[in-house]
Amino acid sequence: MALLAGTTSTMDARSSLSMDFAVKAIDFVDKIEGHYSLKNQFERSSTSIGANIAESQRAQSTADFVAKMKVALKEANETQYWLKLLYETKYLSDREYVSLHSDLLEMAEKF
């Protein structure tokens, strides 16, 4: 079913970028002290992007594929919110924010 929404290389790029982003997000979360709920929300949404992309690769129909990819995009939007909140509350440095945000945007462009 993955071929219905693009080439295999497009799906590979989505999967690879989402995995790289999730690993980077987890590494970042491990460095934050305190504020469990904020860290948890960011970690959950950032790792959910790739999980939904992976799930879409075994979709039962075109509609199922599209639905999973829409959820992945929603998770990317939610992650962007948490990322901005982490930055505004000084949990992220300018450099960390720019790095994570640019990776997130690069991944979102593949949707």
pLDDT one-digit tens code per residue, 33-86 = 888 899 999 999 999 999 999 999 899 999 999 999 999 999 999 999 999 999
Q: What is the mean pLDDT of the chain?
A: 89
CA distance 9 to 19: 15
Helix (H) or strand (E) holding 18: helix 8-31
DSSP-assigned letter for residue 5: G
C-beta of residue 29 within 8 angstroms of C-beta of residue 47: no
CA distance 49 to 91: 22
C-beta of residue 110 within 8 angstroms of C-beta of residue 14: yes
C-beta of residue 49 within 8 angstroms of C-beta of residue 105: no
